[in-house]
Structure 1
């Protein structure tokens, strides 16, 4: 995959913001078994520096610094909670309140390394959420994270009882099928089995805001990707039809 295949959301002498597709690593994994976005940027631009990261299956805005000074500055901004980070995600079911905060400390799960849990001994972690649209089986939710813990949105969504859809670690991992949202669904006689309508982690890093070292304010946004937008259209379509029944 070449850099020309990515949507560049912002590009300055100090940093670059990329619209990362789902399924691509942000940075190299331990065994370097597959290519990462940082390596692709290194090849295209020379060395870049990791400021933050997204989970492999999360799509959306990710920022890399182009020099050590910017890396140090932006890293401090992230660590100091000066960066505004918003996500969009489909969660299972409908949260009981239309908006709220999840203030649950997060730590690594001692019984399942590489995964996280809400635990009193964890690091302080705060996520605000707003339900944008609800469709019964799924709801579209905006999350704002005020801390940057590993898997924070996914862990907090699970903690409130409504995990991110198609999350294999913190949810049931089951794909979304049209039969689950459309009344009286019938497969075509030519189909042997129903194909998933949506089959990856339903989480998108939507928007990020910060002040650069020169004092300029940035708000960088990634539109909802095609697959999530297609799911949203189907949910709206069949919600409307169901309401008429």
Structure 2
């Protein structure tokens, strides 16, 4: 089924390129993908085709027909997943750093979804064939806990808890610099970075985003912190910590060029708590820091 979406160009979007406005309508739409849709006639402005570089006027009505996704052959793979909990409705898995959560063009094997399809035959279908069971995500180079829905009832109940901000999600991060205060809250909206569509940023017209943090340990040039998410925006912790001048160590996208060589951002989803979708019982799980993260902290403690 082809999804159709309309958007009326707002005053602050006037004179922006068509492809830029369309790609900002949904976080997962890339600029190059949108440009192809425009070429293929899937995007119209005021009922007619325009080019990607068309400068939109306030009040223009943009219509988008999202084409059917390319059918990818997603195969089950025995990836020896680290399962923390499982019953007929829900599963909690500890994802290693470097593993992509769900298949996409360019990543059709070795993903968490491939491993889940091998491990259990029943996964919710709400997010479609490419994301079965996936209720929330963490980035490829972030390690830690994820909840997975094994049926649509569980998916809806878990997604509702995320929406109502009742899920406990605590992350551990190593950031650049010494944070002077012991705790704080970052309340700053997040949306696409207008200067780089592949990144997110704190922007005035972004979606509400709130991150609470507290300092666990200070080193010479770094601070080890715990972050608790109130919302779950794309790259939220990475964007928020950069925003306050303390980007994550090892972060290739949001960190400084001179940073720790860690193979990605030093970020671990260590605590996950939610109410069971069927029984209502509160469940909470804790994953210890991965060995490489722990070794990094030990080096910093020794002043290396």
Q: 1:39 to 1:174 in 2, by over 3 A?
A: farther
Match of 1:211 in 2: 275
1:79 aligns with 2:163: yes
SS of the equivalent of 1:155 reads: helix
For residue 91 of structure 1, the aligned residue among 144, 159, 175 is: 175
Gapped runs of 5+ residues in structure 2? Answer: 1-76, 124-132
Q: Distance in 2 between matches of 1:29 and 1:47?
A: 21
Q: 1:110 to 1:47 in 2, by over 3 A?
A: farther
Contact 1:91-1:164 at 8 Å conserved across structures: yes
**Deviation readout 1:126-158 (Å, 9 max, x if unpaired):** 000001000021110100010010000000010
**Higher RCO (C-alpha 8 Å, min separation 6):** 1
Match of 2:120 in 1: 45
**Segments ≥4 residues shifted beyond 6 Å:** none
Contact 2:79-2:110 at 8 Å conserved across structures: no
**Deviation readout 1:170-227 (Å, 9 max, x if unpaired):** 1125452xxxxxxxxxxxxxxxxxxx5x333100001011111211111111110000
Match of 2:96 in 1: 21
Q: Distance in 2 between matches of 1:119 and 1:238?
A: 37
**Deviation readout 1:75-117 (Å, 9 max, x if unpaired):** 1111221101100000011113111000000011233223111
Q: Distance in 1 between matches of 2:89 and 2:258?
A: 41
Residue 34 of structure 1: how far off its partner (Å): 4.1
Bigger shift: 141-150 or 74-83? 74-83
Match of 1:180 in 2: none
Gapped runs of 5+ residues in structure 1? Answer: 177-195, 240-245
> Who wins on radius of gyration, i.e. which is larger?
2
The CA RMSD over aligned residues, in Å, is: 1.6
